[in-house]
Amino acid sequence: MKSDWPRIIAHADMDAFYASVEQLDNPDLRDQAMVIGSNSKRGVVLTASYQARKFGIKSAMPMADALRRCPDILVVPPRFERYQEQSAAIMAAFADFSPRVEAISLDEAFIEMSGAEGLFGTPQEMAQQIKAAVFATTGGLTASVGISSTKYVAKVASDFNKPNGICVVPPEEAVAWLDPMPVARLWGAGPKTVPRIQRLGLYTIGDVRRADPAWLLQKLGRSGVHFQTLANAQDPRRVAQRRSARSIGSDRTLMENITSHADIEKHLRRSADRIGHRLRQKGLRCRGVRVRLKTADFKLLTRQVQLPQPTDSSDQLYEVAIKQLTRFQPAQAIRLVGLAAYELSREAEPQQLDLFSGRSKMQALEAMVDRVSDKYGSGAVVRGGDLGRSGTISENSPNLDFIDDIP
* In the complex, least distance from residue 99 CB atom to Mg ion, rounded to whole angstroms: 23
- Is 81 a binding residue for Mg ion by CB under 5 A? The answer is no
Q: Which is nearer to Mg ion, 147 or 321 (CB)?
A: 147
Query: In this structure, which amino acid lies at residue 149?
Result: S
Report d(CA 225, CA 239) in Å as an integer: 22
Report the site for Mg ion in 344-373 (rule: CB under 5 A): none
Q: Which is nearer to Mg ion, 145 or 264 (CB)?
A: 145
Q: Which window, 62-70, 101-109, 181-189, 310-318, contacts Mg ion (CB under 5 A)?
A: 101-109
* In the complex, least distance from residue 105 CB atom to Mg ion, rounded to whole angstroms: 7
Report the site for Mg ion in 383-402 (rule: CB under 5 A): none
Q: Which window, 39-47, 106-114, 181-189, 393-401, contacts Mg ion (CB under 5 A)?
A: 106-114
> What is the distance of C-alpha 40 from the center of its chain?
24
Report d(CA 171, CA 232) in Å as an integer: 11
* In the complex, least distance from residue 187 CB atom to Mg ion, rounded to whole angstroms: 16
Kindly report the backbone phi and psi dihedral angles of residue 257, in degrees, each rounded to the nearest multiple of 5, phi listed first.
-65, 145
* In the complex, least distance from residue 20 CB atom to Mg ion, rounded to whole angstroms: 9
Among 22, 85, 102, 108, the one annotated catalytic: 108
Q: Which is nearer to Mg ion, 79 or 219 (CB)?
A: 79
Report d(CA 187, CA 155) in Å as an integer: 9
Q: Which window, 3-11, 104-112, 317-325, 356-364, contacts Mg ion (CB under 5 A)?
A: 104-112
Report d(CA 33, CA 393) in Å as an integer: 35
Q: Which is nearer to Mg ion, 17 or 342 (CB)?
A: 17
Q: Which is nearer to Mg ion, 50 or 203 (CB)?
A: 50
- Is 107 a binding residue for Mg ion by CB under 5 A? The answer is yes
Q: Which window, 19-27, 100-108, 306-314, 383-391, contacts Mg ion (CB under 5 A)?
A: 100-108
Report d(CA 399, CA 342) in Å as an integer: 23
Helix residue ranges per DSSP H, 109-182: 117-120, 123-138, 151-160, 174-178
Report the site for Mg ion in 14-33 (rule: CB under 5 A): 14, 17
Q: Phi/psi zone of residue 46: left (φ > 0), alpha (ψ -120 to 50 degrees), beta? A: alpha
Nearest to 353 by CA among 37, 96, 84: 37
Q: Which is nearer to Mg ion, 13 or 112 (CB)?
A: 13
Please tell me the total number of residues recorded for the chain in this structure. Answer: 407
* In the complex, least distance from residue 16 CB atom to Mg ion, rounded to whole angstroms: 7
Sheet containing 285-295: give its strands across.
247-258, 334-345, 285-295, 300-311
Binding footprint of Mg ion, residue count (CB under 5 A): 4
Using CA atoms, how far residue 332 sits from 271, 290, 323, 335, in Å, is: 20, 19, 17, 10
* In the complex, least distance from residue 164 CB atom to Mg ion, rounded to whole angstroms: 12
Angle at Cα 363 formed by Cα 358 and Cα 365, nearest 5°? Answer: 95
Q: Which is nearer to Mg ion, 17 or 83 (CB)?
A: 17
* In the complex, least distance from residue 143 CB atom to Mg ion, rounded to whole angstroms: 8
* 85 among known catalytic residues: no
Nearest to 106 by CA among 95, 92, 91: 91
Report the site for Mg ion in 126-185 (rule: CB under 5 A): none
Report d(CA 206, CA 181) in Å as an integer: 8
Inter-residue contact 268 to 292 (CB < 8 Å): no
Q: Of residues 5, 12, 13, 38, which one binds Mg ion by CB under 5 A?
A: 13
Catalytic sites, residue numbers = 108
What does the binding site for Mg ion look like in residue numbers (CB under 5 A)? Answer: 13-14, 17, 107
